[in-house]
Amino acid sequence: MGLKTKVIQTVLIFFAGISLVQADISGESLYMQNCMVCHADDGSGAMPGISDLVSNRSWSELPDELLLERITNGIKSQSSPAPMPPKGGNLNLSDNDLLRIIIYMKNEFQK
Ligand code: HEC
In-domain check, residue 6: no
Host domain of residue 65: 26-108
* Residue nearest to ligand 1 atom 36, measured at CA: 35
In-domain check, residue 8: no
In-domain check, residue 56: yes
Domain of residue 53, CATH code: 1.10.760.10
In-domain check, residue 18: no
Those residues of the chain that have pLDDT short of 70 are 15-24
Q: Are 51 and 80 in contact (CB under 8 A)?
A: yes
Which pLDDT score, from 0 to 100, does residue 58 have? 93
CA of 63 to the centre of ligand 1 (A): 16
Domain count, the chain: 1
Hey, which of 47, 75, 91, 97 would you mutate to test ligand 1's pocket, going by the most ligand atoms within 8 Å of its Cβ? 75
Which pLDDT score, from 0 to 100, does residue 2 have? 80
Which pLDDT score, from 0 to 100, does residue 25 have? 84
| 27-34 and 95-108 helices, crossing angle to 10° | 100
In-domain check, residue 77: yes
* Residue nearest to ligand 1 atom 9, measured at CA: 84
Hey, which of 26, 31, 38 would you mutate to test ligand 1's pocket, going by the most ligand atoms within 8 Å of its Cβ? 38
Half-sphere exposure at residue 74, Cβ-oriented, CA atoms within 13 angstroms: 9
In-domain check, residue 14: no
The answer to whether the CB of 6 is under 6 A from ligand 1 is no
Q: Are 49 and 80 in contact (CB under 8 A)?
A: yes
pLDDT in tens, 29-52: 999 999 999 999 999 999 888 889
